[in-house]
Amino acid sequence: MKDSSYYLLITKLKKDVSKKVTFKNFIITLFSVSIIFIVLLKFDDINGAIPEENMSTIQIIEYYRYPAETIRVKSDDGYILEMHRIPYGKVSSNNNTKTPRPAIFLQHGLLASSSDWVVNEPSQSPAFVFADAGFDVWMGNMRGNVYSRQHEKYSTFSRKFWRFSWDEMAKYDLDAMINYILDVTGQESLYYIGHSQGTITMFSKLSEDKIFQKKVKKMFALAPVAQVGHIKGLMYTISELFHSSINLFEKYFGSMEFLPSTWYIRMASRLFCGSKLTNPLCQNVMFLIGGPESNQLNTTRLPVYLSHTPAGTSTDNIAHWAQMVISKKVQKFDFGSPDKNLLHYNQTTPPYYDFSKIFNDIYLYWSDSDWLADEIDVQEGLLHVLPNIKLNKHLIDFNHFDFIYGLRARKEIYDDIIEIIKS
């Protein structure tokens, strides 16, 4: 969508970055454009709300009359993680809950939640599609998002609660959730489907835990990320401006939650994305982050998508991504000084992850239109490293969000996964 306001904003941001302007000027630019949008809203009608905008993941599942369960588990470092389960579908040949079904685990990406898997119509939402195909569907929620905001010691008002990045998600969260699933189902292993950050967490876990490798039958990586040195768009801009130190990052973004999922953000998405006039601008915000328009986004559901995203994470987690954009390495979190790194890692620099140690069956789904899982990064960080790639599927015209929201995703990804598992 070549909206003039969008391109004016991009031009301004590029000029700002080239001049190394302050964060203050960056915010002034965004604020000025926002004021224009608000004025435009005065001359446009707001569409009626879509019911799922104000629903939780469990409420959406129940709204479509699927069975739903909420499960909470505790990680070894004290975080209470909430999982959502669809034990069987509506069109499965046998809906007897006692009938063993292959367990399939869906893990969301950065600033997302389990809702990613259910926000489209049932025929297009992966969680419903897999449930109807005969699977026992489990959806994870990493620490810090809207569903996993409890700790046995710390509240979300404590800096200690937010002292994590995806390193800890890989080390602790996947352990807690997947071990619970296997215990409950009595299965020795499961099928794993991750999107974006949900891929790097599993890659990292598998690379450092040979015992855990036995718990994953097959891994399906959608928009897979490893090294991120060639990303484009807004994430690159943030990384370039604020990567120099964790202290600088915290100065501008705080030291706790990044982009809190508050009522104000949800209302803003409702106003901007529920308007016929400004809906295209809302789309452009997504394209600015994830890649160019692909004409497969169901624009009528934009208010639903953006009422559930951002779903919350820590500032440290975003800083970790920014560090990797600049280093072009798949590395652990940099604590900001040789002394601090030495304390945590017994070396002065962050250790690298070695994905060549992963021997699980890996199925990759990627696209050269994805700005966050760039083609060069996929090739250098995964295709040339992973020893047991069973499928390397290059999708045409998929941006980063199309893997979960796109109208072609079922035919080109989900149905493909079902066929592979059942073959």
Q: Which residues are catalytic?
A: 196, 370, 400
Name which of 52, 170, 54 is nearest 118 in CA terms: 52
CB 131 within 8 A of CB 89: yes
SS3 96: coil
Q: How many CB atoms lie within 10 A of CB 279?
A: 19
Phi, psi dihedral angles at 81 (to 5 degrees): -110, 135
DSSP of 206-275, one letter per residue? HHH-HHHHTTEEEEEEES--S--TT--SHHHHHHHHHTT-HHHHHHHH-SSEES---HHHHHHHHHHHTB
**Paired tokens of 355:** 């994905």
**Amino acid letter, 192:** Y
**Paired tokens of 118:** 């259910």
> CB-based contacts of 327: which residues, under 8 Å, 6+ apart?
229
CB 44 within 8 A of CB 278: yes
Could you give the CA distance from residue 88 to residue 115 in angstroms, rounded to a whole number? 18
**Paired tokens of 58:** 């469990």
Phi, psi dihedral angles at 374 (to 5 degrees): -65, 150
Name which of 52, 132, 15, 46 is nearest 415 in CA terms: 132
| DSSP H stretches of helix in 274-387 | 279-290, 302-307, 315-327, 338-345, 375-378
CB 190 within 8 A of CB 178: yes
In this structure, what is the dihedral angle of CA atoms 396, 358, 142, 167, given to the nearest 10 degrees?
-110
